[in-house]
Chain A
Amino acid sequence: MSTAVEASLARFLDSPGVTGVALVDAVTGLTYGVAGDGAEAGDGQEASDFAALVAERLGRAGAEGELESIVMTSARRHQVLVTVGRPAGDPLLLTAGLDRERANLALAARGLGELADEVLA
């Protein structure tokens, strides 16, 4: 049975090259929902740890404001983490795996940004 979160995430699978996407708690690492290949979306705990580390280091380096996104690129894949803002409550992360040969990173990043705005609706 598809949940409200998974139904919301599934829309992003229509984007070219997107292999998996997940909604993760940025503090606890708990994964609330997955669409597509969960392994491609990445482990929730690792994603939240990594995002926290990057945000902390950026803050120490003098960056202002909250972390918005992280893009990691390997020979075959992109891994994208996008912060999901909430009216109240702990922050969430969208984590997505992209096939580098098929995905347009700029389009995917824009699509994930839009998804981040709508995923909790």
Chain B
Amino acid sequence: MRAPHPRNLPALLVRLHEDEFSGTVRVAGTPGGTLHLRDGLVGAVETPGAPTAASVLLASGRIGDDDWLAACAAQRDEDLLGERLVADGLVGAAELEVVCTAVVFDGAFAMSLGALGNWELSDREPGFVARPGVEPRQLTDETTRRIARLGSLWGPASDLARVRPVPGTGVVEGPLSRRHEDILNQVNGRRTARDIAFALGRGLYAVMLDLIRMRTLGFLRWEVPGALDGRPSTAARVTPGRTTAPGPPPAPSRTEPLPRRVPRGGEKGGK
């Protein structure tokens, strides 16, 4: 016998999987997000917390802006856009599956970093979905594994999401991989892991793992979580499809933490 109302989002998704639901689940919260389900499987997760498949393909330069726009114009149904991209030879079917599957897991992970609110079900809306999609239980298990892994490597994932790394000052041993170079080109003391993920067209979790490793190797440093102020990101967003030019890491404008505004901080003796 089924409970009348699922107690949380994972339970809801399991219920929708059993029902082979095709439609949309909007979840309130910070960051919250929208899940597109097809026949009970999660085909796409759209959240402000992590790049979508379109962001990944465009920001990484895998598909050019013009080719993307042409494919969108030729195939108006977003559900079938992936097949169009493959038919046009812009990306392989297996590679597209890898990209779309990765962002489903990454989106779920990003949503798990904040508090989730109420959800709302609606009919199917067009979405750039993974085929065939991901089973909800697999999604939940992987999200749990990721949070546990970050916890064992560094600490609470939600704290790591708020750090704003700067280049390290230590001596770098061995050559830098291209991936680590790209991250070094992005860090400036203002960008979070999320900002870097959007700028590079990479997954949030993958960027977090790289940040931890680079900190261990002395490539990066950041404030301890207790000193974080939780301000919203003010980093410049990179327009999808326009990658940053390769070059040496930009020198941070300052190595000290940015000044923090304190209520009545400028008043002496104020009440």
Contacts and interface: CB of A to CB of B under 8 A. Distances in A.
Interface stretch (B1-9, B19-27, B67-75, B172-180): B172-180
Q: How large is the interface on B (under 10, 10 to 19, 20 to 34, 35 or more residues)?
A: 20 to 34
A10 B209 CA distance: 30
A1 interface: yes
Interface in A30-47: 30, 32-33, 45
A8 B94 contact: yes
B62 A89 contact: yes
Interface string A64-89: 10100000000000000000001111
A73 to B, nearest CB: 27
Nearest to B101: A32
A40 B250 CA distance: 45
Q: How large is the interface on A (under 10, 10 to 19, 20 to 34, 35 or more residues)?
A: 20 to 34
Contacts of A13: none
Interface in B202-232: 202-203, 205-206, 209-210, 213
A32 B98 CA distance: 6
Interface string B6-36: 0000000000000000000000000000000
Interface string B90-101: 001111111101
Nearest to B176: A59
Contacts of B60: 88-89
Nearest to A119: B94
Contacts of A86: 95
B136 interface: no
B101 A28 contact: no
B203 A88 contact: no
A90 interface: yes
A56 interface: yes
Given A8-B94, A23-B98, A89-B60, A1 B206 contact: no
B102 interface: yes
Given A28-B206, A88-B62, A120 B179 contact: no
Contacts of B93: 4, 121
B151 interface: no
B175 A59 contact: yes
A7 B132 CA distance: 13
A56 B97 CA distance: 29
A59 B61 contact: no
22 contacts: A4-B93, A4-B94, A5-B94, A5-B97, A25-B98, A27-B203, A27-B206, A27-B210, A28-B205, A45-B149, A56-B174, A59-B174, A60-B173, A66-B177, A87-B62, A88-B201, A89-B99, A89-B202, A90-B206, A120-B92, A120-B94, A120-B95
Interface of B: 56, 60-62, 92-99, 101-102, 105, 131-132, 142, 145-146, 149, 173-175, 177, 179, 201-203, 205-206, 209-210, 213
Interface of A: 1, 3-5, 7-8, 23, 25, 27-28, 30, 32-33, 45, 52, 55-56, 59-60, 64, 66, 86-92, 119-121
